[in-house]
Amino acid sequence: MIKKTRYDVVVIGAGIMGCTTALHLAKSGMSTLIIDKGKICREASGVNAGTLTIHMTRAQLIPFAIKGWELWMNTNKWLGEDIEIVKTPGLCLAFTEADEELLVQRSKERIKQGASIKLISKKEALNIEPSLSQNIRMAAFCEMDGFVSAYKTGLVFSKAFNKIGVEVIENEKIEIVENSDKFFVLKNIKNNFFVEANNIVLAGGVWLEEMLKWFQINISIKCLPQQLIVTERVNKILNSVITIANGKLSLKQFLNGTVLIGGGWPGLRDMKNDKFETIHENFIGNIQLACYSIPALKTSRVVRVWGGLEAETKDAMPIMGQIPNIDNAYVIGSFHSGYTSGPYVGYLMAQMILGNEQKNQNLFSLSRLL
């Protein structure tokens, strides 16, 4: 049950972007409601690998990822809650000559954008991470890396929202948004749910395409169903986050001993049941790469494979800002490695709505995609 009939702002989509936006708006004194068609942070923001690596971030988004990383490391300051964060170095590996070339080129691009990455020899890499395969030729090293237990994202935001007074409505799918002159009306007629909002933020991840149609905006947002794999608890074999030159592997060991294997290998999305399906060959390929990088992994067992849905626009760059020609309506999403930059871009979104942010105003504007 909601407490008011009208809110200063209603955020639709309770993932990392929507949640941080809501949090900062509420802190500035706005009455804030966040609505999700499911549970808080149970899609991409709750099921992703939680990798806070710079080695996999798109070069142009590095400044946002760095700011995001810093915020993740200090959640206590802005979220008022601790989330299980582990700060480790990150190693990006090359196994072939072609890999080396790719690694050098990609690292250079990232360094240009402000990442402090340095290239190191096989020997240096093995010193940092003794369980690495002898087959590596070189590696890129970055001090700034680490990971979060992403599945706890919803828990910490729930607690923070309780304290700050952000209202949360779960399991409510908004189906209609009407735009009167002064405010918006959000509805689910079947459930008899109505709420009014002075400002509205769309933060619906892969569902943004559908949501933008409320404002007669038709853009295509691709849904990338990405595979994640976790092992049972094993003895400590990893001290760092491991990635590879082409970006198709991420590996790290959580404090409880489980090893999480990611890298964005595609699975299938069963649209009817909204379920993720594994592609057998991609499961095998992903774990082969993992075992090739860290041979000790071969003695573990795989306990679970699941998927998360990443959203991608036509030019694979994010959307953030006002919805063209609709006053007080905003949209945020489609950030590659969005979990890392989430806390920062959510903050930026809030600042834009509050009128405090000029610099990034048109950087990721929706109008470029129209």
Partner 1 sequence: MIIQEYDIIVIGAGPSGIAASVTSALNGAKVLIVDSNFDTGGQVYKPPPDTFQEIKKNYSTEIKIQKYHKKLLEEHGVHIALEHTVWQVSKGFQIYAFNNRNKKISWKCKTLIVATGTYERIIPFPGWTSPRVIGLAASTTLLKSHRVLPGYNTIVAGCGPLLAVVASGIIKAGGHVKAVIDLNGPFSWFSSISSMLTNPSSLIQGIGWLKDIIFSRTPIYFNSIVKEVINHKNELEINITKINSKGLINTENIIKINADSLCIGHGLIPSLDILTILGVKKFFDFQSASWLAKTDKYFQTSVNNLYIVGDGAGISGAVPAYEKGLLAGHSASLNLNFISHKYFQRITKKIFVKLKKFEKFGKSMAKLMTPPSGLIQNITDDTIICRCEDIKRGEIEKAIKSGAIEINQLKAWTRCGMGPCQGRTCEDTIARIMADHVGDRQTVGMFARKMPIKPIPMDCAVGDFKYEDIKKVEEAPL
Binding site for partner 1 (CB under 8 A): 39-40, 42, 46, 56, 58-59, 95-96, 102, 106, 109, 135, 151-152, 154-155, 158-159, 162, 168, 230-233, 246-248, 256, 258, 263-266, 270, 273, 275, 277-278, 280-285, 287-289, 291-292, 297-306, 316, 336
Residue 365 Cβ vs partner 1, minimum distance, rounded to whole Å:
20
β-pairing, 241-244 vs 250-253, is antiparallel
Of the two residues 152 and 187, which places its CB atom closer to partner 1 in the complex?
152
Query: Could you report how far apart the first and last alpha carbons of the chain are, in Å?
Result: 37
Of the two residues 98 and 176, which places its CB atom closer to partner 1 in the complex?
98
Phi/psi at 225 (nearest 5 deg)? -80, 115
Of the two residues 181 and 281, which places its CB atom closer to partner 1 in the complex?
281
Q: Looking at this protein, which amino acid is placed at residue 346?
A: G
Of the two residues 154 and 321, which places its CB atom closer to partner 1 in the complex?
154
Of the two residues 57 and 328, which places its CB atom closer to partner 1 in the complex?
57
Nearest CA among 346, 37, 44, 19 for reference residue 206: 44
Residue 1 Cβ vs partner 1, minimum distance, rounded to whole Å:
14
Q: Are 260 and 251 in contact (CB under 8 A)?
A: yes
Residue 282 Cβ vs partner 1, minimum distance, rounded to whole Å:
7
Of the two residues 70 and 232, which places its CB atom closer to partner 1 in the complex?
232
Write the DSSP string, 319-362. EEEEPTT-TTEEEEE--TTHHHHHHHHHHHHHHHHTT---TTTT
Residue 140 Cβ vs partner 1, minimum distance, rounded to whole Å:
13
What is the spatial distance between Cα 339 and Cα 334, in angstroms, rounded to a whole number? 10
Write the DSSP string, 164-227. HT-EEE-S----EEEE-SS-EEEEETTTTEEEEEEEEEE--GGGHHHHHGGGT-----EEEEEE
Residue 275 Cβ vs partner 1, minimum distance, rounded to whole Å:
7
Of the two residues 265 and 339, which places its CB atom closer to partner 1 in the complex?
265
Residue 280 Cβ vs partner 1, minimum distance, rounded to whole Å:
7
Q: Are 125 and 93 in contact (CB under 8 A)?
A: yes
Residue 281 Cβ vs partner 1, minimum distance, rounded to whole Å:
6
Which helix or strand (DSSP H or E) is residue 6 part of?
strand 6-12
